[in-house]
Structure 1
């Protein structure tokens, strides 16, 4: 882990003063599998994507797939799990490899970003897939971004969806919003400086590449400007320390957009931010070079994902899912709360 103190890129939030984690509530499952972005589907269950393992009930070797989809049923303390596509005793076999940090349910249809064919290939292409049977089978759409999609930049990678309520109910408008870190080097590591772009597309046109737009800054009235030209895009988030994988969710109780982003190395520091709009301005809730408690022997954390279903106490309480390396290379859920 890099030495020296790193400072957050945005001022502290005046609305959310801090954050607490109840480490005694930790539930650890699926050792060997990682990532775990979450979406809340029309059937009331949450769904997630895992990588490089056997999923729930599996291990790093048993049932191992490059990428799989799983279902989480129930409440924050008593949930049950099942592998839908790939993994141990899966309901359906996985049919292609890759990695994903972006899954969403909209009007009963699932959409998933496939980022390359493996972690080290995540820069190669970002392609959108679709499922009409809650993850049992997947088909590729025409939406694909690769190196040929950009003339004057290296493009972006590992896109993630902004999550709203169940099956995208409660969304701010008819658009779907997508956050994507910018590629600065072709090494599977923290990208420095850290920049995150924002895309949007009408929710009924998700499978049509020509309908995608990119955030291009703010006008004089501080309203967002959108463009169909990817070379005119401007980041909605910047951290000189760097960034890599991100997660985004709308908290309906607090009426805030919550963004998580790495900033130290690919398995260490994380920041948690809030904003009143998907494009900011962002305020810092939490910024640390080491996410887990000091007494834990394993410090490696590679992804944080807020559950879009398990809010409580008008959004002040939450469940966070994380994964990492070594002992943290698993599904880990913990409860926590924001401080007013």
Structure 2
């Protein structure tokens, strides 16, 4: 998201690009606001857990209602925000770009990204600082970020190794935790982890050999709230997914970045001296005969807090302080490149036992890295936001076409608001998400326009920018206009045979990672012009330019400024209205 201070007629107007907002302060004639291309209606995700689920249904909570509120940021994944003492969020990210900065976490030059995020409303967030950290993945092929913790002004970001397999799939072999990078100045400078992903040089005494099984390959810090304020004993706790064996005979990629059999728990003092010292860690070692949790300093004593053979995977945990409950999100993403399943468990204790809140089959539809940021939990604890990413294989060389479910989910930092249900919802509550859009309604005058453009890329059309669908490459290139190698200066023009009364124009940027309109000039047949700020760099959110009603015979939109990596500038959608189509 970007904030842009624009001046019109001597009046300052704050435009926030990239989220769904109320109308901004009006200037003389023109004003901007961000708009959502879609109206999303509340629904219950109603998919039963598979037979054999070891967690009984929670008596307190009977599922989740998706409210329809949603936000998305950047073109990267692996977001695990930690709530710092300064009220900011501190998170890693990778395999994509954030405001022009790119991180890839594989190969000899593997890097991870980090970001500092401001804002109290998930739909109004801004990234105020970002950067990269390099660390070798050897002998593994990738070294990816995992747990992030900001506590008392010190930031810890963990990494873990991943290996390729001989049978394809996506990172099918989980590696060990390579320790934690440390920053004492909130991300300005970093001390790299002294550990590596090499066996016997990693944080935990695993694996016994290269590509051997692990229990804490991708540990994530339990989210205890702002500055860890709700830790039961002042220690940092971490959960990780793993297995005691790879089960390769049972199924390939059984223990991967997103699949496994068991969930493990450990704890450590959250200090610079302790975080990379395995001797300072304690491991959950099961329950005694009276049901009391046991802890041990011996790694060999560790036991899972939850086990479901062939149904575990990437795990996070958050303490919901108003409800005095722990919520654990587990994603079973086997076989690593298909639709994925996330389920949420609850417990009164961090060690369990665990009960099922909801099972979200095909969440995303390929949703992963799911977590619940404690900063966005409501005062009564019943409403919060799911943080995740989705549908990465839609961007591959042989792209899949997984649906955006809930709508808006895509390869980015996704945030979806949910509400806990305390009883089974009645039949009047929708079980299927309903989405509609003013773009394809009769109110959109662009659907009736004759469309022309400065150039058109092969296999594209200019008319696709006015077809009522804010979509584009890579998932739906047939619904956008792309120029033929043009950058700044490319234009598209809408003309009508009869004068039209209009009072707003909606502009949607192409959704790919490279082409980005950072300023658009709108010319009207009555001689007036207006230049926007940067468009949201994703097709789900657009920029509305609003003005006093006027009669025009044509509107011309020119990409006045573009991003540095632009190859074929264009628009996913252009819409024209007279009046607010949401009313």
Question: How far apart, in 1, do the equivalents of 2:372 and 2:415 lie?
Answer: 9
The residue number in structure 2 matching 1:164 is 224
Q: How many residues align?
A: 317
Gaps of 5+ in 1: 87-93, 293-298
Cα 1:207–1:64 change in 2 (3 A) is: closer
SS at 1:231 equivalent: helix
Cα 1:146–1:160 change in 2 (3 A) is: farther
Q: Does 1:180 align with 2:225?
A: no
**RMSD of the TM alignment (CA)?**
2.5
SS at 1:101 equivalent: strand
Q: 1:29 aligns with which of 63, 73, 83?
A: 73
Q: Does 1:331 align with 2:416?
A: no
Q: Does 1:132 align with 2:184?
A: yes
Cα 1:117–1:131 change in 2 (3 A) is: farther
Q: Does 1:203 align with 2:270?
A: yes
* Cα offset, 1:117, TM superposition: 7.0
Cα 1:162–1:5 change in 2 (3 A) is: closer
The residue number in structure 2 matching 1:85 is 131
The residue number in structure 1 matching 2:382 is 316
Question: How far apart, in 2, do the equivalents of 1:101 and 1:124 lie?
Answer: 11
Cα 1:138–1:274 change in 2 (3 A) is: same
* Cα offset, 1:190, TM superposition: 4.8
Gaps of 5+ in 2: 1-47, 106-111, 137-142, 164-169, 395-408, 423-583
Correspondence 1:47-62 to 2 at 5 A: 47-55=90-98, 57-58=99-100
SS at 1:167 equivalent: helix
User: Which has the greater radius of gyration?
Assistant: 2
| 2:177 and 2:197 in contact (8 A); partners too | yes
* Cα offset, 1:264, TM superposition: 4.9
Question: How far apart, in 1, do the equivalents of 2:259 and 2:333 lie?
Answer: 10
Question: How far apart, in 2, do the equivalents of 1:264 and 1:9 lie?
Answer: 18
Correspondence 1:252-263 to 2 at 5 A: 252-263=321-332
| 2:386 and 2:415 in contact (8 A); partners too | yes
The residue number in structure 1 matching 2:156 is 111
The residue number in structure 2 matching 1:12 is 57
Could you tell which deviates more after superposition, 195-204 or 74-83? 74-83
Could you tell which deviates more after superposition, 113-122 or 248-257? 113-122
**TM-score for the superposition, normalised by structure 2:** 0.51
Question: How far apart, in 2, do the equivalents of 1:212 and 1:145 lie?
Answer: 18
The residue number in structure 1 matching 2:298 is 229
Q: Does 1:250 align with 2:336?
A: no
Question: How far apart, in 2, do the equivalents of 1:16 and 1:5 lie?
Answer: 15
* Cα offset, 1:328, TM superposition: 1.7
Question: How far apart, in 2, do the equivalents of 1:278 and 1:124 lie?
Answer: 23
Question: How far apart, in 2, do the equivalents of 1:146 and 1:164 lie?
Answer: 31
Cα 1:42–1:313 change in 2 (3 A) is: closer
Cα 1:233–1:337 change in 2 (3 A) is: same
Could you tell which deviates more after superposition, 212-221 or 239-248? 239-248
| 1:38 and 1:308 in contact (8 A); partners too | no
**TM-score for the superposition, normalised by structure 1:** 0.85
Question: How far apart, in 1, do the equivalents of 2:257 and 2:150 lie?
Answer: 29
Question: How far apart, in 2, do the equivalents of 1:313 and 1:167 lie?
Answer: 18
SS at 1:123 equivalent: strand
* Cα offset, 1:302, TM superposition: 1.8
| 1:147 and 1:154 in contact (8 A); partners too | no
* Cα offset, 1:9, TM superposition: 2.6
Could you tell which deviates more after superposition, 319-328 or 226-235? 319-328
SS at 1:222 equivalent: coil
Q: Does 1:238 align with 2:307?
A: yes
Cα distance per residue 1:81-124 (max 9 Å; x no partner): 234213xxxxxxx3336311210112111111111278837514
* Cα offset, 1:141, TM superposition: 4.6
Cα 1:141–1:101 change in 2 (3 A) is: closer
* Cα offset, 1:155, TM superposition: 2.1
Question: How far apart, in 2, do the equivalents of 1:124 and 1:198 lie?
Answer: 15
Question: How far apart, in 2, do the equivalents of 1:228 and 1:64 lie?
Answer: 36
| 1:125 and 1:147 in contact (8 A); partners too | no
Q: Does 1:73 align with 2:118?
A: yes
| 2:218 and 2:257 in contact (8 A); partners too | no
* Cα offset, 1:332, TM superposition: 0.9
